[in-house]
């Protein structure tokens, strides 16, 4: 029986974000930077500032918000940013939408004390924990905090998951006669030079998750990602591996007709590609079901600390969560919103169907898997 379940919670969720390159000289000056007052920089909830109205007033006085690593076609961030600007009259400065989670953390440190430094971060959970350990994050709990499931947030609010999805296979059915629906299918000779990942798995979350999903499909487990690398070695040996990293442009141009990526990223391209005459199909493979979330966090050195907190309130409101849902991503509050009847029913129905329930690795399993990929991938696949 096919269903579209929400992602199951666990003590630790797998993911690592993929977005942004930040540059520029740094400063060792502490503090919250140029735009906000000390009260906002230390606020752990809207109540600490006197309530939502006071938070909005403080954020509007700052007038700007610096975001980083948010491509407009990723989880509907283009529309989310526009909606936030329209709602509050705050200008959102979006820096360098391509890169990695590590680049985001580098930007927090290198741009510390500068007005252009990131206010908020969108990170893979592993990187969010790393940032917390490095004291780069300011704790904050949004008004809907209790509806973020346990295991998907730091208890003190240094980070909290925002949206997630499943690894999927996107397929250009306009040029491919028979679209694959499983990892096993990707070894078929008809897919010569067509199987691509979203980045390098040593740096990019979606690619890393794609390798782990392939492992689960080939006798591996959450304790053993090795079979996933073995599988891509087979794909390469068969002549099917495409080293071009997936972007919307490579898909639209036809360079990457088969894209292993998060389902919300693949599904989010369907309408755009249809307008170009391309039939884009998305399948979540049942032989390698792997899900993961990304996490939100506020920089401890945010130059606009009130706007940073208002941004989080917006993202975790019903409107913000439904905007993620409209982009094909599964919002972290989905279960609570479905129960309350506030989830966008049309957007829910449009999610790619999923068969089965995903398991999530522990932090120890994730760390071990990252080490294996770091050791083997570039040598065996990229080399």
We report the CATH number of the domain holding residue 250 as 3.40.190.10
Say if residue 26's pLDDT is above 50: no
Among residues 110, 146, 82, 119, the alpha carbon closest in space to that of 296 is found at 119
Domain range holding 261? 166-289+357-382
Closest C-alpha to 168, from 74, 291, 59: 291
Find the range with the poorest average confidence among 70-74, 82-86, 316-320, 353-357: 353-357
Helices 205-216 and 226-237: angle between axes, nearest 10 degrees: 90
| Mean pLDDT, range 100-105, rounded to an integer | 85
252/254 Cα distance (integer angstroms): 5
For residues 89 and 197, membership in a common domain is answered with: no
Same domain for 311 and 376, yes or no, is no
Residue 337 C-beta-side C-alpha neighbours within 13 Å:
24
> Residue 316: is its pLDDT beyond 50?
yes
pLDDT tens for 343-379 read 999 999 988 888 888 877 887 898 899 999 999 999 9
CB atoms within 10 A of CB 151: 13
Q: Are residues 173 and 312 in the same domain?
A: no
SS (H, E, C) 227-253: HHHHHHHHHHHCCCECCCCCCHHHHHH
Greatest mean pLDDT among 35-39, 129-133, 205-209, 216-220 lies in 216-220
Residues 193 and 171 in one domain: yes
Instruction: Give SS3 for 158.
Output: coil
Mean pLDDT of the chain: 88
Answer yes or no: do 209 and 296 share one domain: no
User: What is the rounded CA–CA span in Å between residue 227 and residue 221?
Assistant: 9
Indicate whether 28 pLDDT > 60: no
Do both 178 and 153 map to the same domain?
no
**Quick one: pLDDT at residue 206?**
87
The pLDDT score that the predictor gives to residue 383 is 66
Give the ranges where 148-276 is alpha helix by DSSP (H): 205-216, 226-237, 248-253, 263-267, 270-275
Q: Do 108 and 87 fall into the same domain? A: yes
Domain count, the chain: 2
- The answer to the question of residue 17 being in a domain is no
Tell whether the torsion through CA atoms of 7, 11, 16 and 19 is positive or negative: positive
Distance CA 150, CA 335 (A): 13
Residues 65 and 52 in one domain: yes
**Domain membership flag for residue 155:** yes
- With respect to residue 11, please indicate whether it lies within any of the assigned structural domains: no
> Quick check: is 303 in a domain?
yes
- Examine the domain organization and report whether 214 and 249 are in the same domain: yes
Within a domain: 211:
yes
Q: What is the pLDDT of residues 258-302, one digit of tens each?
A: 999 999 999 888 988 999 899 999 999 989 999 989 999 999 999
Task: Give the mean pLDDT of 53-65.
Answer: 98
Q: Are residues 178 and 321 in the same domain?
A: no
Q: Is there a single domain that holds both residue 158 and residue 172?
A: no
Is residue 337 in a domain?
yes
Q: Quick one: pLDDT band at residue 4, thresholds 50, 70, 90?
A: very low
Q: Are residues 233 and 374 in the same domain?
A: yes
Residue 9 maps to a domain: no
Question: Looking at the domain assignment, is residue 180 inside a domain?
Answer: yes
């Amino acid at each position: 029986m096919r269903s579209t379940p929400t992602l199951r919670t666990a003590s630790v969720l797998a993911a690592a974000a993929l977005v942004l390159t930040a540059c520029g000289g740094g400063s060792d000056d502490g503090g919250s930077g140029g735009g906000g007052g000390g009260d906002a920089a230390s606020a752990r909830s809207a109540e600490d500032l006197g309530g939502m109205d006071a938070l909005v007033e403080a954020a509007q006085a700052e007038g700007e918000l610096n975001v980083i690593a948010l491509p407009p076609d990723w989880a509907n961030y283009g529309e989310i940013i526009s909606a936030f600007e329209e709602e509050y009259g705050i200008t959102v400065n979006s820096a360098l939408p391509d890169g990695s989670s590590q680049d985001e953390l580098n930007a927090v440190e290198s741009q510390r004390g500068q007005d252009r430094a990131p206010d908020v971060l969108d990170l893979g959970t592993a990187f969010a924990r790393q940032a917390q350990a490095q004291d780069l994050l300011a704790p904050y709990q949004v008004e809907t905090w209790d509806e973020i499931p346990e295991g998907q947030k730091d208890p003190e609010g240094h980070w909290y998951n925002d949206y997630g999805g499943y690894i999927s296979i996107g397929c250009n059915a306009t040029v491919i006669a028979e679209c694959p629906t499983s990892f096993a299918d990707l070894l078929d000779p008809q897919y010569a030079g067509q199987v691509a990942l979203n980045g390098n798995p040593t740096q990019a979350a979606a690619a890393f998750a794609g390798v782990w999903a392939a492992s689960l499909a080939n006798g591996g487990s959450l304790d053993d990602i090795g079979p996933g690398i073995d599988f891509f070695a087979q794909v390469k040996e068969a002549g099917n591996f495409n080293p071009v990293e997936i972007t919307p442009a490579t898909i639209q141009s036809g360079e990457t007709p088969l894209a292993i990526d998060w389902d919300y990223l693949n599904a989010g391209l369907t309408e755009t590609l249809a307008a170009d005459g391309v039939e884009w199909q998305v399948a979540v493979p049942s032989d390698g079901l792997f899900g993961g979330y990304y996490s939100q966090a506020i920089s401890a050195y945010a130059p606009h600390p009130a706007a940073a907190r208002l941004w989080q309130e917006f993202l975790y409101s019903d409107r913000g969560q439904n905007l993620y849902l409209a982009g094909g991503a599964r919002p972290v509050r989905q279960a609570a919103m479905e129960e309350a009847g506030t989830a966008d029913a049309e957007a829910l129905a449009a999610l790619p169907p999923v068969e089965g329930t995903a398991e999530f690795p522990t932090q120890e399993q994730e760390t071990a898997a990252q080490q294996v990929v770091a050791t083997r991938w570039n040598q065996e696949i990229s080399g």
